[in-house]
A = this chain, B = another copy of it.
Amino acid sequence: MEYFTSRRTVRKYQNRRIDDAIIRSIISDATRCPTTGNMQLYSVVVTRDRNVIDRLAPAHFSQPALTNADVVLTVCADYNRFVRWCELRDATPGYDNFQSFMTAVLDSTIFAQQIVTIAEMRGLGTCYLGTTAYNPDLIAEVLNLPKFVVPVLTITLGYPDEEPSDCGRLPVEAVVHDEVYHDYADADIDRYYSEKEARDDSRRFVEENGKQTLAQVFTDVRYTKDACEHFSKVLLDFIRRQGFYY
């Protein structure tokens, strides 16, 4: 159980090949995770070919976690397989809608996290790329994703070549609500975020970005309103084009 508190995201990997059988075994074990109605509304694309990884790179802004990874897993919300099965069995699927899309997103995210846990427990380093949702069309083009398939999360894998220090978390009280949700008073926010704000790396982020507060690094630099609104449109258009109307 010590694993859960000592785990770290790893972005730098050794130049060492992970055996295909290990990858397959991790994925196979991960399929035992729970899914909605046991429908398994996900797929995973296992990319190791450098040419394909190079073509995926721009979609992920060429992050080193991707470019130096041994294996790239693109976990997709997938209704294609299930719909195909229905059609071959005289069943009329009604899954071209937003609720079905969300169901497949939950299934595939649970599956992705199971892969991460198993891979890390076996000594591999992993990193999620949140950029998957920013450029789904480019990823879909490179990976030949058909209708009813939407990339949700990318996981990079490799043998760790760094021992990252703890990047900290909010105190558990900040995220737990007893019985019902208790909204935060200003003093709660101050208390819960004070440790994060006092960290050396946080202070460095603020300084390097020429900001007054850590929160401004998020709102003005890392996750701006303009970018969020742009990527909202991209993602919504893509979801619709893949067959999930709303």
Contacts and interface: CB of A to CB of B under 8 A. Distances in A.
Contacts of A33: 113
A93 B34 CA distance: 35
Interface residues of A, number: 115
Given A90-B216, A116-B34, A220-B91, A228 B109 contact: no
Given A32-B7, A91-B218, A98 B180 contact: no
Contacts of A180: 45, 47, 52, 142-144
A64 interface: no
A46 B176 contact: yes
A157 interface: no
A48 interface: yes
Copies of the polypeptide in the assembly: 2
B89 A216 contact: yes
B24 A1 contact: no
A135 interface: no
Contacts of A198: none
A208 interface: no
A146 interface: yes
A8 to B, nearest CB: 9
A171 to B, nearest CB: 9
Interface in A196-239: 212-216, 218-220, 222-226, 228-229, 231-232, 235-236
B1 A99 contact: no
A66 interface: no
Contacts of A109: 105-106, 109-110, 113
B110 A229 contact: no
Q: Most chain-B CB neighbours within 10 Å: which of A76, A85, A190?
A: A85
A46 to B, nearest CB: 6
A97 B228 contact: yes
A120 to B, nearest CB: 10
Interface in A129-187: 130, 133, 142-146, 149, 152-153, 167-170, 172, 174-184, 186
Given A95-B228, A106-B153, 13 more contacts: A31-B172, A34-B127, A36-B130, A45-B178, A45-B180, A88-B186, A91-B213, A93-B225, A95-B223, A97-B228, A97-B229, A109-B109, A144-B181
